[in-house]
């Protein structure tokens, strides 16, 4: 008589868990800035506990929301709903 064996237990992969593919930021953007402006951005980013990149991303999203008059983007810059121009 044969005993039932359990399926082998797989160890979790080391490192970070995979990210949601929708959270990927695929576009890179470069700016030419005066050193004084960059120093101020670094200072503000540190005060907020963010990297300069994350700080500027939040600032850009806030600016878009201010111009549009309502929040249209989520926290990483994706449209909350389909963009009005895409609805045909």
40 domain residue, yes or no? yes
The secondary structure of residue 78, as a DSSP letter, is: -
2 domain residue, yes or no? no
78 domain residue, yes or no? yes
CA distance 74 to 78: 5
Q: pTM (2 decimals)?
A: 0.65
User: What was the pLDDT predicted at 51?
Assistant: 95
CA distance 80 to 64: 13
Ordered per-residue pLDDT tens for the chain, 88 residues: 666 666 677 777 788 887 777 777 778 889 999 999 999 999 999 999 999 999 999 999 999 999 999 999 998 888 988 655 555 4
User: What was the pLDDT predicted at 83?
Assistant: 59
Closest CA to 50 of 39, 38, 58: 58
User: What was the pLDDT predicted at 88?
Assistant: 46
69 domain residue, yes or no? yes
Domain that holds residue 41: 34-86
Helices 35-47, 52-68: crossing angle, 10 deg rounding: 90
User: What was the pLDDT predicted at 13?
Assistant: 75
27 domain residue, yes or no? no
75 domain residue, yes or no? yes
The count of structural domains within the chain is 1
28 domain residue, yes or no? no
């Amino acid at each position: 008589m044969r005993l039932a064996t359990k399926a082998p237990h797989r160890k979790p992969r080391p490192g970070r868990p995979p990210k949601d593919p929708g959270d990927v930021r695929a576009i890179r953007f470069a700016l030419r800035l005066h050193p004084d402006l960059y120093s101020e951005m670094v200072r503000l980013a540190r005060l907020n506990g963010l990297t300069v990149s994350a700080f500027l991303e939040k600032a850009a999203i806030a600016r878009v929301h201010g111009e549009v008059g309502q929040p249209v983007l989520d926290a990483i810059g994706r449209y909350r709903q389909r963009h009005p121009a895409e609805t045909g």
